[in-house]
């Protein structure tokens, strides 16, 4: 999707479906958008998974989806979202600082590092989809499981 400038804009655990044969599929494409000029500006998505740039009403690109996917992966492994707060202001502050509990140590260092890179506050510090797919961290993490 990112190769053709389509951004999901609401990646969250509730929008990822697993088939009986273990295939993951993205759903709820209602707020996805084609970025004709490379960046998007409209705020959308679920607060727990929204990137810092979305929270700040700044232009964003595919790296915002990477942030959200990192939050989903964290939640799947830690059984809770990385950013939890009592109110929106506290949630905003945690997301802006990138402060969240460490991943459980039972998971490989490669997997924890990958998720840590995906949930970087600065979008330019996050990997692209291609970097994730071609990088050794994902391959190392998947070989263990």
47: which DSSP letter? G
Q: Is 57 left (phi over 0), alpha (psi -120 to 50) or beta?
A: left
Catalytic status, residue 10: yes
- Name the residue with tokens 């679920």: 46
Return the structure tokens found at 134.
């071609």
20: Cβ–Cβ under 8 A, 6 or more apart, which residues?
A: none
Identified catalytic residue from 3, 10, 28, 125:
10
Residues in the chain, total: 145
- Number of Cβ within 10 Å of residue 43's Cβ equals 14
- Name the residue with tokens 């330019």: 124
Active site (catalytic) residues: 10
């Amino acid at each position: 999707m990112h190769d053709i400038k389509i951004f999901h804009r609401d990646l969250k655990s509730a929008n990822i479906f697993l088939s009986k044969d273990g295939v993951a599929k993205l759903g709820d494409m209602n707020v996805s958008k084609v970025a004709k000029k490379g960046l998007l500006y409209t705020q959308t998505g679920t607060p727990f998974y929204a990137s810092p740039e979305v929270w700040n009403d700044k232009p964003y690109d595919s790296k915002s989806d990477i942030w959200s996917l990192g939050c989903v992966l964290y939640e799947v492994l830690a059984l809770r979202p990385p950013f939890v707060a009592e109110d929106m202001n506290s949630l905003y502050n945690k997301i802006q600082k990138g402060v969240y509990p460490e991943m459980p140590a039972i998971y490989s260092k490669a997997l924890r590092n990958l998720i840590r890179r995906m949930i970087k506050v600065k979008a330019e510090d996050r990997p692209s989809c291609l970097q994730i797919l071609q990088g050794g961290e994902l391959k190392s993490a998947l070989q263990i499981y």
